[in-house]
Amino acid sequence: MGKKERILLIKSRILEHYKDATTALNHTNIYELLVAVMLSAQCTDERVNLVTPKFFKVYPSTKELARADIDSIKELIKSINFFNNKARYLKEMAQEVEQNFDGKIPTTQKELISLSGVGQKSANVVLGEFLNQNFMAVDTHVFRVSHRLGLSDAKTPIETEKELSAIFKTNLNSLHQGLVLFGRHICKARTPLCTLCFLEDLCSSSDKRI
């Protein structure tokens, strides 16, 4: 089997297996999604979803968040990993949106990355999930899975993103969401469930374990 054929098979199986995959982060608008994504760094989606309902009630938009007392933000998100830094980033992000974007969350990658606490992965998740733009986001699951499957040998998430975007070309957000779920539930970090894997015949990883 040629490399191109193998890549197309991996792509089609991921899209078929996870055809309805969306982010697990609860949100109703782009502001809420951005806040949830920022909170989710090195924290579970489940924990974030426990925190955000009260957070959004107190701070329903960047207008209120920009004026917030930093200690009040910390109190609301104190069960989230690295809440001190995240509280500061959230307030700064909101101030920047108010000052530089007329209170509207920007919708380009360059503009989103210009906001405090928003990296390329976070920007891509927001753009792909909320606006259905064609972006690949690489978190720890996608990074691990893409290397095990031989889709990338890049050393960093950003370089991995470039390689995956180049080989897959389309459906990048859907593939991101699918690869995340694949990494969480099948191709796990410590105990990959190879005997249950629908990509097992396409995987030549030396990291296979039962």
Q: Which domains does the chain have, with CATH numbers?
A: 3-21+136-202 (1.10.1670.10), 30-131 (1.10.340.30)
**Distant-in-sequence contacts of 119-125, Cβ < 8 A, 24+ apart:** 120/158, 120/161, 121/157, 121/161, 122/34, 122/37, 122/38, 122/41, 124/161, 124/176, 125/23, 125/33, 125/37, 125/176
Residues 6+ apart with CB under 8 A from 57: none
pLDDT at residue 42 in the model: 86
Asked if pLDDT for residue 210 goes beyond 60, the answer is no
Mean pLDDT throughout 45-53?
Answer: 96
- The pTM of this model reads 0.89
Q: Are the C-beta atoms of 171 and 155 separated by less than 8 Å?
A: no
Question: H or E element: which one contains 158?
Answer: helix 157-168
pLDDT in tens, 94-145: 999 999 999 999 999 999 999 999 999 999 999 999 999 999 999 999 999 9
pLDDT at residue 89 in the model: 97
The one-letter code for the residue type at 202 is L
Residues 6+ apart with CB under 8 A from 89: 38, 116, 117
pLDDT in tens, 164-189: 999 999 999 999 999 999 999 999 99
178 alpha-carbon distance from chain centroid? 11
Nearest to 93 by CA among 50, 173, 39, 163: 39
pLDDT at residue 115 in the model: 98
Instruction: Give residue for tokens 């959004």.
Output: 56
Cα distance between the two ends of the chain: 25
Helix axes 140-148, 172-185, angle to 10 degrees: 90
The share of the chain scoring above pLDDT 70, in percent, equals 98
> What helix, strand, coil percent values describe the chain, rounded to 5?
60, 0, 40
